[in-house]
Chain A
Amino acid sequence: MGDDDKAGIRVSFPGRRVVGLVVTELSDENLRSSLAGLTVRDDLVELPKVPMNRADHYKVLAAPDSTDGTRKIDGPYPDPIVVGTIKGGVGDGRIIETRSRTGSSKRAMALIAFLALMVVAQSVVFFRSDTGTPIDCATGALTLTGTTAFEPVVREAAQSYQDVCTDATFSFEMRGSGEGLLALDRAGENAAVLAFSDGDKPDGIPGLVARPTAFVLFTLVVNPDTGVRDLTTSQLRRLYGGEITNWEEIGGRDVPVRLISRNPGSGTRAAVQRRVLGGAREPGSNSDNCRDRDPGAPTGVVRCARNSTDDVLRAVADMPGALGYSELGAATDREGLALVSIDGRPATVPDADHGTYPLWETELGYTHGDPDAH
């Protein structure tokens, strides 16, 4: 190319026309005056001759469009044709083509695909482990003692644990919260015993450590023939205090009151005493059969005690005028029983949670010291 030609480099875009051209970058502002000769004619861009020092550069952005304004559908446009050489000792003076680095490189795409795969794989592993096998299946034998109120849950959970972890075995000695804790204490530090208790352990067994396990509700239950379905706290205190001896006195039917309770040491009994009776201890029993006072027993309303939740519920269903208490799940949908609300509130989790239903307890799992991790 001769020095009289003003254009240094010509770039043509066959099949396209250049609709816009702009200088986007200058290493030195002085170059701008030399770039005044930048011209566009249809498909041709002419870059003027620009005197440049070493390391000087400029960038020009050209926007080509199809000649007729429609999109080409039969494949890509032909490559642009570049004509010209560079003077002044830049390499061998030839034009070197580089490609745009916009978009994602293959390596980046491969990395993204790999990471996406990891995310999917991790969630698959997570969801499988959540619903399927417990990750750490323990092996061995464990004796479960304590509350009969929580027994149905404990038995069912032990069964389902065993279904998955076939090397685990369970035995059950559930005779009430207090007895379970004493049995655990007696068994010593290395025994494989777990005791469930409704509420805190009594004083005097400092070696036992609790873990809160569940929030359990209790309910009062009556024999339906009492005609009573709701009792106020004050009525309950008078009933257990022996002041009310016939349901007629508080608007029920003419049936004598019979109080069917749990033996001392029962967590359910402790919950009733603490949360409904204001801390007053239930008087001792005066009847074995729950129907009549035994000869020589103190007078007053008939009181008897049973060893388990299930025994209480059966006795209440059998005995006219009976009032008892039990864990809610065990009492629900049982024939011959009516649930009694307290101060107008039936036993529900939201009411207990918000302090409007009083008869609940924390189910605690006790072990000797902190249980081993495995």
Chain B
Amino acid sequence: MAADFLRYLTTQDGADIIRAQGDRPCAELANPQLCHPEPRP
């Protein structure tokens, strides 16, 4: 269920809710690589 809910957040109505809050789904950025976990120094 955790996987299903995460998928819902990023690809379905969840993405609209993220946008409504002023944030963005990672896939919609001009630089989507900003969104990935950053490598540790």
Asked if residues A349 and B24 are in contact (CB atoms below 8 Å), the reply is: yes
Q: Which of B1, B2, B13, B38 contacts A157 (CB 8 A)?
A: B13
Q: How many residues from A make CB contacts under 8 Å with B?
A: 48
Q: Which of A130, A154, A328, A354 contacts B31 (CB 8 A)?
A: A354
Question: What CA separation (Å) do A364 and B36 show in the bound complex?
Answer: 9
Question: Provided the pairs A153-B18, A156-B17, A212-B36 are in contact, do residues A138 and B23 lie with their beta carbons within 8 angstroms?
Answer: no
Neighbouring A residues of B29 by C-beta, 8 Å? 215, 349, 353
Neighbouring A residues of B13 by C-beta, 8 Å? 157, 160-161
Is A140 part of the binding interface, using a Cβ–Cβ cutoff of 8 Å? yes
Number of inter-chain CB pairs below 8 Å: 124
* Stretch of A26-34, A312-320, A365-373 at the chain-chain interface: A365-373
Question: What CA separation (Å) do A153 and B5 show in the bound complex?
Answer: 12
B5 to chain A, nearest CB (A): 6
B binding-site residues for A, Cβ under 8 Å? 1-10, 12-14, 17-18, 21-26, 29-31, 34-38, 40
Asked if residues B1 and A139 are in contact (CB atoms below 8 Å), the reply is: yes
Question: What CA separation (Å) do A212 and B31 show in the bound complex?
Answer: 14
Question: What CA separation (Å) do A324 and B9 show in the bound complex?
Answer: 28
- Nearest B residue to A203, CB-CB: B40
Question: What CA separation (Å) do A136 and B14 show in the bound complex?
Answer: 15
Asked if residues A328 and B22 are in contact (CB atoms below 8 Å), the reply is: yes
Neighbouring B residues of A354 by C-beta, 8 Å? 30-31
Is A82 part of the binding interface, using a Cβ–Cβ cutoff of 8 Å? no
Q: List 17 A-B contacts (CB under 8 A).
A: A139-B1, A152-B21, A153-B18, A161-B8, A161-B13, A168-B5, A192-B2, A200-B37, A211-B6, A214-B24, A215-B26, A328-B22, A349-B29, A353-B34, A362-B38, A365-B2, A365-B6
B18 to chain A, nearest CB (A): 5
Is A329 part of the binding interface, using a Cβ–Cβ cutoff of 8 Å? yes
Neighbouring A residues of B9 by C-beta, 8 Å? 153-154, 157, 213-214, 365
